[in-house]
A and B are shown apart, each in its own frame.
Chain A
Amino acid sequence: DVKVTQSSRYLVKRTGEKVFLECVQDMDHENMFWYRQDPGLGLRLIYFSYDVKMKEKGDIPEGYSVSREKKERFSLILESASTNQTSMYLCASSLTGYSYEQYFGPGTRLTVT
């Protein structure tokens, strides 16, 4: 079974803090993704990576950066957390090809106060 794990289920941070969200997958997938989920807006893509050290902006990259130093690990970084980044963050991974589903981690609910 594919497993995607995220470092925390719940996280509370203060405005201005640097925040790291980590994601690890164990199925040697090329692609990894970070989404945020907000009520009424569905899931929106923040960043994705198609190979080690390669990254592409998604639909809402502002205020975020990412790092992929190893194939199995994809980190989302909030350089200076703000209250409008309070959200559920979901990591996913997949093989390349439009017929392959994405496998999701359990999510991290981040609250910025």
Chain B
Amino acid sequence: AQKITQTQPGMFVQEKEAVTLDCTYDTSDQSYGLFWYKQPSSGEMIFLIYQGSYDEQNATEGRYSLNFQKARKSANLVISASQLGDSAMYFCAMRLSGGTSYGKLTFGQGTILTVHP
């Protein structure tokens, strides 16, 4: 069975600094997608970035980049130039292909990021 692990319950970063949120995953499938979501205190889940298992380059979306190391089964989120509005819960998730998975997402436990001014 697939599993996502986020080992950092909470992280602190100074405004304008970069921060890395850790995510490791476990699956025996070859085809899968990795996602990061942001959940502010208001509760909505906001999709940030996606990395496919066959993508050779790390995904980037604005200030977000995904440090994908397939052999180590890690998919860390890097946020550059942190802003106060980045304070939120961040979830890493994995989605398998095919079979009866129908695109189910498996989530990690989440990391609470606090950005200090």
Chain A: residues with CB nearer than 8 A to chain B?
31, 33, 35, 40-45, 48, 50, 56, 58, 88, 90, 92, 94-104, 106-107, 109
Contacts and interface: CB of A to CB of B under 8 A. Distances in A.
B44 A33 contact: no
Contacts of A107: 43-44
Chain A interface SS verdict (over half): strand
Interface in B77-117: 91, 93, 95-98, 100-110
Given A102-B103, A107-B43, 14 more contacts: A40-B9, A43-B105, A45-B104, A96-B103, A98-B52, A98-B95, A98-B98, A101-B35, A101-B47, A102-B35, A103-B47, A104-B37, A104-B44, A106-B44
A98 B44 contact: no
A58 B100 CA distance: 11
A41 B103 contact: no
A45 B105 contact: yes
Interface size class of B (residues with CB under 8 A): 20 to 34
A87 B104 CA distance: 20
A99 B109 contact: no
Interface string B33-49: 10101000011110100
Instruction: Across the A-B interface, give the 8 residue pairs with the lowest CB-CB distance, nearest first.
Output: A104-B45, A98-B97, A42-B107, A43-B107, A50-B102, A98-B33, A101-B47, A42-B109
Interface of B: 4, 6, 9, 31-33, 35, 37, 42-45, 47, 50, 52, 91, 93, 95-98, 100-110
Contact of B105 (A41, A97, A102, A109): A102
9 contacts: A40-B109, A42-B91, A45-B104, A45-B105, A48-B104, A90-B45, A92-B105, A99-B52, A102-B47
A109 B43 CA distance: 10
